[in-house]
Amino acid sequence: MTDQAYNFAYLDEQTKRMIRRAILKGLAIPGYQVPFASREMPMPYGWGTGGVQVSAATLTPEDTLKVIDQGADDTTNAVSIRKFFERTAGVATTTSTRAASLIQTRHRIPEEDLTEDQILVYQVPIPEPLRFLEPRETETRKMHSLEEYGLMHVKLYEDISRHGHIATSYAYPVRVEGRYVMDPSPIPKFDNPKMEMPAIQLFGAGREQRIYAVPPYTEVVSLDFEDHPFDPSKAPHACGLCGAEDSYLDEVITDDEGGRMFVCSDTDYCECRRAAGHCGPQFPEAAA
């Protein structure tokens, strides 16, 4: 049951219209950070209040919502956001990527290919990719408007000079449709190539009050050097549970003796594969 003390999806209609205008502007200018008047949400910043507001303005009663955190549906953060929308919007929820029409995510893109019927909403902590070297907001805005992006490569240069390779493995900067440089939020760089997808991608930063977007089938290029090309590397293992060799893996400790294995970070992907009969080296008995 929807809690009647709230408007549908918690936010009032006027606020949702304001956020929708920001979303539409973001879709019209792919990768451009649109300022919006972020509202107080009944959860702390860092819990994805930007993503929650974007989801609230995007959800309809017919939607089916999935919420993931680091690929998992069952973390505290994911569960509390899912419950929040169950309570305030009364929408159906799911852990199945395929069954969801709107997916709110923190730190991952699902392994399963998304479709034109789906929307992916990212929770973003720091939307400004130039921030780490240029703290002045007036200056970073100017850099975006004049396409002065040399500084992004200074960061990659520093990486290589210090580590011998581009060590940035999360929030790896991208250039969208040959124009705006964008922070893809702290997803692993492994996910970067997936950003050219049929689904709509929306990004919400609550504390920093920014919304940006990548429309379907938009070119998203990870920045690099000619002699240090972008490499979306992954751990050279198969998932210990489902045997997948193409998924992003987390290393988990399995017992007190320091035993460890690699498993899919996308729990739904892993479960679907196991349900379909795939099995990994850690579970040979399941092969029978």
Partner 1 sequence: MTPLLDVKGIAKRYGRHIGCADVSFDLWPGEVMGIVGESGSGKSTLLNCLAGHLAPDAGEVWFDTRVDGPKDTLKMGEPERRMLSRTDWAFVHQHARDGLRMGVSAGGNVGERLMAVGARNYGTIRHQAIDWLGRVEISEERVDDRPTTFSGGMQQRLQIARNLVTGPRLVFMDEPTGGLDVSVQARLLDLLRGLVRDMGLSAIVVTHDLAVVRLLADRLMVMKDGQVVETGLTDQVLDDPQHGYTQLLVSSVLQV
| Shortest distance in whole angstroms from residue 142 CB to partner 1 | 8
Q: Is residue 253 a contact residue for partner 1 (CB under 8 A)?
A: no
> Do 201 and 110 form a contact (C-beta atoms < 8 A)?
no
Please, what's the b/e burial string for 162-184 (b: 16 or more CB within 10 A of its CB; e: otherwise)? eeeebebeebbbbbbeeebbbbb
167 binds partner 1 (CB under 8 A): no
> Which residue matches tokens 């964008």?
182
Q: What is the largest CA-CA distance in the chain?
A: 63
Tell me how far apart the alpha carbons of residues 215 and 199 are, in angstroms, rounded to a whole number: 7
| Binding mask of the shown chain, residues 117 to 146, with x at each position contacting partner 1 by CB under 8 A | ----------------x--------x---x
Find the binder of Zn ion among 19, 205, 244, 279 (CB under 5 A): 244
Sequence-ordered alpha helix ranges (H) in the chain: 13-28, 49-58, 76-88, 137-145, 150-163, 267-275
User: Would you count residue 162 as binding partner 1 (CB under 8 A)?
Assistant: yes
Cβ at position 146, least distance to partner 1 in Å: 5
Stretch near Zn ion under the rule CB under 5 A, chosen from 69-77, 208-216, 223-231, 260-268: 260-268
Q: Counting contacts by CB under 8 A, is residue 178 touching partner 1? A: no
- Please say which residue, 207 or 237, places its beta carbon nearer to Zn ion: 237
3-state secondary structure at position 260: strand
Q: Which of 264, 267, 268, 272 binds Zn ion (CB under 5 A)?
A: 264
Q: Which of 270, 272, 279, 282 forms a contact with Zn ion (CB under 5 A)?
A: 270
Q: Pinpoint the alpha helices (H) of 59-149.
A: 76-88, 137-145
Q: Taking CA 265 as the corner, what is the angle to CA 169 and CA 123, rounded to the nearest 5 degrees?
A: 65
Interaction between residue 226 and partner 1 (CB under 8 A): yes
The pairing of beta strand 119-123 with beta strand 174-176: unpaired
Q: Which stretch binds Zn ion (CB under 5 A): 18-26, 71-79, 81-89, 259-267?
A: 259-267
Instruction: Catalogue the E-assigned strands of the chain.
Output: 34-35, 64-69, 92-93, 102-106, 119-123, 174-176, 180-182, 200-205, 210-214, 220-222, 249-253, 260-264
- Point out the catalytic residue in the list 26, 206, 240, 270: 270
Q: Is 239 designated active site?
A: yes
- Decide: is 151 part of the binding site for partner 1 (CB under 8 A): yes
- Any catalytic annotation for residue 270? yes
Q: Could you confirm whether 242 is annotated as catalytic?
A: yes
- Give me the catalytic one of 264, 272, 279, 280: 264
Encoded one letter per residue, x for contact with Zn ion by CB under 5 A and - for no contact, window 220-239 reads -------------------x
Give the nearer residue to Zn ion in terms of CB position, either 69 or 111. 111
Residue 73: HSE in the Cβ half-sphere, 13 Å Cα cutoff = 18
How far apart, in Å, are the Cα atoms of 239 and each of 4, 101, 144, 212? 44, 27, 40, 33
Strand-pair partners of 62: none
Matching residue, tokens 């850690």: 282
Find which of partner 1, Zn ion, none residue 160 binds, CB within 5 to 8 Å per kind.
partner 1
Contacts with Zn ion by CB under 5 A lie at 239, 241-242, 244, 264, 270
Contacts with partner 1 by CB under 8 A lie at 133, 142, 146, 148, 150-151, 153-154, 157-158, 160-162, 225-228
Active site residues: 31, 239, 242, 264, 270
